[in-house]
């Protein structure tokens, strides 16, 4: 789609608004204490996970990118609604539809983004199921890392998820990843290769 007479000021406003997510800590910090993510970093990591799930589920690269798009966008309305934590959701409700409509109002590509939100929220397509599962896997990742850092509350949540959440993941691939998490540790990706298998003492003790 080629845009004519682009309303650049409106687009800049949208960019500024969504940029606030980089400064918005996720609300679970209230309960987990030393949580380290923001809404923006959560969305970024979720998009990476969603691509992996899409490909594991047999979707082509293009659908994987489509899944990433949904994951990047899924929490944009929180610039207006805030990020309700588990306790707050028992008492407060948000009008996400109105938030999305207001947030995207006046953008020449509004309908394209609305369609992505709707697909994600309907959870009918395999791509949208991968995106939602990725959202949950990211939360598991956060609690997994905090557990290794000694956060007992995060550990309690992490273990609870294997009874309350993991069995209800929408894709087989997400369940496979979730069940594999406790069998390793967050720094395995570098510690095993660069320390245990390829120990370079010069980097540890200083060059001669």
Q: What is the pLDDT along the chain (208 residues), one digit of tens a residue?
A: 565 666 889 999 999 999 999 998 888 877 788 888 899 999 999 999 999 999 999 999 999 999 999 999 999 999 999 888 888 889 998 999 999 999 999 999 999 999 999 999 999 999 999 999 999 999 999 999 999 999 999 999 999 999 999 999 999 999 999 999 999 999 999 888 888 887 777 777 776 5
pLDDT at 199: 77
Spell out the residues 6+ positions from residue 183 whose beta carbon is closer than 8 angstroms to its own: none
Residue with tokens 């949950």: 136
Specify if 195 maps to a domain.
Answer: yes
Taking the C-alpha atoms of residue 52 and residue 182, their distance in angstroms, rounded to an integer, is 19
**pLDDT tens for residues 156-180?**
999 999 999 999 999 999 999 999 9
Number of Cβ atoms within 10 Å of the Cβ of 124: 10
Q: Is residue 2 part of a domain?
A: no
Spatial CA neighbour of 56 closest among 133, 161, 138: 133
Tell whether 3 is covered by a domain: no
Q: How far apart are CA 117 and CA 35, in angstroms?
A: 27
Rounded Cα gap, residues 157 and 195, in angstroms: 31
Structural domain of 164 = 8-205
pLDDT of residue 33: 83
Contact 82, 27 (CB under 8 A): yes
- Please compute Rg for the chain using Cα positions: 20
How many angstroms separate the Cα of 105 from the Cα of each of 122, 162, 176? Answer: 22, 40, 40
Q: Is residue 78 part of a domain?
A: yes
Per-residue confidence (pLDDT) for residue 15, from 0 to 100: 94
User: How many CA atoms lie within 13 Å of 114's alpha carbon, on the beta-carbon side?
Assistant: 15
- Phi, psi (deg, nearest 5) at residue 38: -110, 170
Contact predicate 94/27, CB 8 Å:
no
- Per-residue pLDDT at 171: 98
Q: What is the pLDDT of residue 2?
A: 62
The total of structural domains in the chain comes to 1
pTM of the model: 0.90
- On whether residue 113 sits in a domain, the answer given is yes
Residue 4: what pLDDT? Answer: 61
Find the CATH number of the domain harbouring 192: 1.10.3210.10
Q: Which helix (H) or strand (E) holds 128?
A: helix 126-148
């Amino acid at each position: 789609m080629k845009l004519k007479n682009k309303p650049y000021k409106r687009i800049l406003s949208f960019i500024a608004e969504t940029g606030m997510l980089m400064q918005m800590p996720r609300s679970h910090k209230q309960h987990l204490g030393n949580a380290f993510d923001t809404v923006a970093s959560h969305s970024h990591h979720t998009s990476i996970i969603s691509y992996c799930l899409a490909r594991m589920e047999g979707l082509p690269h293009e659908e994987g990118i489509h899944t990433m798009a949904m994951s990047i966008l899924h929490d944009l309305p929180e610039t207006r609604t805030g990020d309700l934590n588990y306790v707050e959701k028992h008492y407060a409700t948000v009008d996400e539809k109105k938030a999305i409509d207001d947030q995207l109002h006046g953008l020449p590509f509004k309908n394209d983004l609305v369609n992505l939100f709707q697909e994600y929220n309907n959870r009918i397509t395999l791509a949208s199921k991968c995106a939602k599962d990725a959202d949950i896997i990211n939360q598991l990742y956060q609690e997994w890392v905090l557990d290794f850092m000694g956060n007992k509350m995060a550990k309690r949540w992490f273990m609870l998820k294997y009874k309350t959440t993991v069995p209800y993941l929408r894709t087989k691939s997400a369940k496979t990843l979730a069940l594999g998490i406790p069998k390793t540790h967050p720094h395995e990706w570098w510690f095993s290769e660069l320390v245990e298998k390829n120990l370079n003492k010069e980097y540890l003790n200083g060059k001669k």
